[in-house]
Amino acid sequence: MIGLLAAGPFGLQARAAEGWRIAVIGAGMAGLAAARALQQAGAEVTIYEARDRIGGRVWTDRSWPDLPVDMGASWIHGLTGNPLTALAREAEAALHPTDYESAAAFGGGSERPYPAEPWDMLETAQKRAWKAEEDLSLRAAVEALPRWAKMTTAEREAFRAAVHRMVEHEYGADWGALSAWSYDEAEAYGGGDALFPHGYDQLARHAAQGLDIRLDARVQVVQATRDGVRLTFADGTQAEADAMVCTLPLGVLQSGDVTFDPPLAPARAEAIASLGMGLLNKCWLRFDAPPPVPTADWILNLGPPADLWPEWVNPSAAAPAPLLLAFNAGPRAEEVEAWDDATTLVSAHDALKGMFGTRFPAPIAAKVTRWRADPLVYGAYSYHAVGSGADTRRALAGLDWDGRLAFAGEAASPDHPSTVHGAWLSGLAAAEALIG
């Protein structure tokens, strides 16, 4: 970012928006970043948030009084140079580093050799796909390889399981939906990753200080007026502003639940339709004593089955009580999301018994996410569907309606998509775009 974005921890420094009334839709990290930057530039900013809390997909559940758990975002991905690292320092939020190299694999009741990774074959498939005139799915690109035709059924199943754990869980989508050209198109910060033992929401609360935030304000219609924008909410009330920053999640934009009058620019509408909204769900299991698992940060479940609860995180070293965290992504997550909590808990416990033996202790409590069913997001985070890429996100970001409507959010981040820091940076970029 250039210019005003480098001026301070929240962005804009010059008071270039004196007298402006700016509405920000959404009190997630993108909205908080934009609002803080615009307020710092002299604007009168109001954030309208549909939920009864701030943070959006940064959601720390504190219903266990002694044990906060992050139901949405969990990690700062890449601590070196990441704006969230500085924000965490300002918020005095403790960090617990994790390492993908700290990993073990289990299946059939015992430890197994760590499985081969799929990257060489995926890289070959992607390079071949780049030579094609049209994009295709990652699955189609792999299955077109001569090497795939020579693999045995067992080799294909092992490769498919590796793709599920390492690709579909990363991007929240089936490999048949991911773009072979651009599924992994993103920049990354170095320095490793870190969890928040006391909750990711510490960053949102810190960023929200001093901002005017209206909760339970679900926008349904955004209209351009002669002098600005008008918002109509679910309860029939309205608000007006000179300009607006929209940080609605991609899933909400795709749903049509919010009407834009006049319609958005064709390129922006096409970008919204072209990107995919993925799904990654969590299941936190709490135990009354430390569970008999290795001290590794990551524990792989090799099954059978290998695509149900395939990834586990052991955060107990940084938590005040024994915990395990399990994930499902893509089509499996869609299936599991339809289960009730009791069924989900039993399934997760059965996976642990399959990994470590039938005497594995039962959890005493669980917390489960269902992001697809959430009407304020309709999924976990965006991904590059076939035919989309960083340019699609650039078309989603930026200004509409002659400069009075700006878009931000993780889906609008071309360089750091699907991340909290990408959402944060997009909010700063939207603020700068409005100021001009």
Within a domain: 193:
yes
Work out the number of other CB atoms within 10 angstroms of the CB of residue 256: 8
Instruction: Clarify whether residues 73 and 192 are in a common domain.
Output: yes
**Alpha carbons 242 and 339: distance in angstroms, whole number:** 45
309 Cβ contact partners less than 8 Å away, ≥ 6 residues apart? 283, 301, 326, 327, 328, 347, 348, 351
Instruction: Clarify whether residues 335 and 237 are in a common domain.
Output: no
Q: What's the domain range around 254?
A: 3-57+200-275+387-435
Contact 81, 74 (CB under 8 A): no
Contact 243, 432 (CB under 8 A): no
Instruction: Clarify whether residues 29 and 42 are in a common domain.
Output: yes
**What is the per-residue pLDDT for 5?**
36
Per-residue pLDDT tens for 106-159?
999 999 999 999 999 999 999 999 999 999 999 999 999 999 999 999 999 999
Domain boundary (333, 368, 403) is at 368
Instruction: Clarify whether residues 76 and 224 are in a common domain.
Output: no
Instruction: Clarify whether residues 394 and 264 are in a common domain.
Output: yes
Instruction: Clarify whether residues 344 and 243 are in a common domain.
Output: no
Q: DSSP letter for 301, please.
A: E
Per-residue pLDDT tens for 335-386?
999 999 999 999 999 999 999 999 999 999 999 999 999 999 999 999 999 9
The four Cα atoms 398, 403, 405, 408 give a dihedral, to 10 degrees, of 20
Instruction: Clarify whether residues 20 and 32 are in a common domain.
Output: yes
**Can you read off the two tokens belonging to residue 87?**
């924000």
Per-residue pLDDT tens for 216-245?
999 999 999 999 999 999 999 999 999 999
Instruction: Clarify whether residues 336 and 399 are in a common domain.
Output: no
DSSP 171-212: HTS-TTTBBTTTTT-----BS-EEE-TT-THHHHHHHTTT-E
- pTM value is 0.94
> Chain-wide mean pLDDT for the chain?
95
Per-residue pLDDT tens for 294-315?
999 999 999 999 999 999 999 9
Q: What pLDDT band is residue 316 in, cutting at 50, 70 and 90?
A: confident
Instruction: Clarify whether residues 72 and 192 are in a common domain.
Output: yes
Instruction: Clarify whether residues 192 and 317 are in a common domain.
Output: yes
Within a domain: 161:
no
Domain boundary (316, 337, 368) is at 368
Q: How many domains does the chain have?
A: 2
Q: Which whole number is the average pLDDT over 232-259?
A: 98
CATH number of the domain at 53, please: 3.50.50.60
Instruction: Clarify whether residues 348 and 405 are in a common domain.
Output: no
Q: Please choose, from the candidates 211, 232, 212, 244, the residue with its C-alpha nearest in 3D space to the C-alpha of residue 433.
A: 244
